Amino acid sequence: MLRRFRQRDETAGQADEDAPDSPPVTGEVGHRLRAPSTLHAFNRYEIKYLVDAADADDLRAELRRRLDPDEHSGDQGYGVWSVYYDTRSLRFYWEKIEGLRFRRKLRVRHYGDRFCVDADTPVFVEIKQRVNRVTQKRRVRLPYRDALLLCDRREMVRHEPSQRAFLEEVLDLVSRLDLRPTAMTGYQRQAFVGRDADVGLRVTLDQRVRGRDRDFHLGADAENRLIVPPHKAILEVKANERVPYWLTDLTAARNLQVVRVSKYCQSVEAYGLAPRSVFHVPDQDAHDAHLVHDRHVRDQRPPRPGAPEREQSPTPTGLHTASTKA
């Protein structure tokens, strides 16, 4: 399936394929794009867990005993809002689902109160990529108007000399692949950072994870949908080299299970832009996921003549029933 989407995307950018300032790179088929820039990257290993919201307070208290609060976190944390760009055929989504060893995604991200966003608000244009097991994030800070000029109108913006290679990489992605805003995510985050022997460790707890598939202005007063069940939070552990023993012991003592969950993919699936994938269901719910998958297969079969009409099967998380403006 992914091959079909790649072929479609490659033909869309074929006219620029031989541009002299855009040398091809070797690697996964379909990534004949500008080589990643040398802008400083955050290189980390990331591990995610699903946490019951009822246990979040106790977990936060334990984390505070070992880690320092992020300087921007405050008592209630801070909002994180991101607009993700993808192709018409959801190339980046399918690369994540297929688990490609090298994959990239582009987003524009704002930290803080989204209702205060205007043209001058600082935002980050980010490329997050996965190389084997290592996650890399490269970004530049721009006024929101410039981020939109770059990603939506595909125009170069004013920049520091050190940022040029990265901005050209962004332009190469959006132009060759015809990227457009596809999904938005938002959540409330509390972040903690390591100290002493744990310098470089970062742990975040994200709650009220929402998304939408339209009205992509970061400051829009638009309806959002809960894309992760409201009784769940996402714990992310980000480490440069290793996860400390005390943290692995903590997650084991609380019976936390490692999950493969992408907020972008959850948003895409919640709005029916792609079929819901069992890859994004927590491991402890795998049995339910298989039941849902079996029901989905049955629902796709044409009914027998004279058989009563079937009801639509629910999704694994029931996400289609919850919406919010906040």
- If you write DSSP's letter for every residue of 88-104 in order, what string do you get? TT-HHHHHHHHT-SEEE
What pLDDT, in 10s, does the model give residues 238-272? 998 889 999 999 999 999 989 989 999 999 999 98
- How far is Cα 205 from Cα 196, in angstroms, rounded to an integer? 21
CA atoms within 13 A on the CB side of 127: 25
Query: Which residue ranges form the domains of the chain, and what is each CATH number?
Result: 36-304+311-324 (3.20.100.30)
pTM, whole model, 2 decimals?
A: 0.75
Please determine, for residue 206, whether its predicted confidence score (pLDDT) is greater than 90: yes
Average pLDDT of the residues in 60-84: 92
Res. 29 pLDDT band, cuts 50 70 90: very low
- How far is Cα 191 from Cα 94, in angstroms, rounded to an integer? 29
What pLDDT, in 10s, does the model give residues 78-136? 999 999 999 999 999 999 999 999 999 999 999 999 999 999 999 999 999 998 888 89
Please determine, for residue 43, whether its predicted confidence score (pLDDT) is greater than 90: no
Structure-block tokens of residue 140: 């530049």
The residues that bridge with 234 in the sheet, in sequence order, are: 50, 206
- How far is Cα 4 from Cα 205, in angstroms, rounded to an integer? 37
Res. 42 pLDDT band, cuts 50 70 90: low
Neighbours of 2 (CB within 10 A): 15
More confident residue, 257 or 153: 153
DSSP-assigned letter for residue 326: -
More confident residue, 290 or 130: 130
Task: Give start and end residues of each alpha helix (H) in the chain.
Answer: 2-12, 56-66, 91-98, 144-151, 164-176, 245-253, 263-270, 286-300
More confident residue, 325 or 119: 119
Question: What pLDDT is attached to residue 223?
Answer: 84
The residues that bridge with 262 in the sheet, in sequence order, are: none
- Among 35-39, 205-209, 216-220, the range scoring the smallest mean pLDDT is 35-39
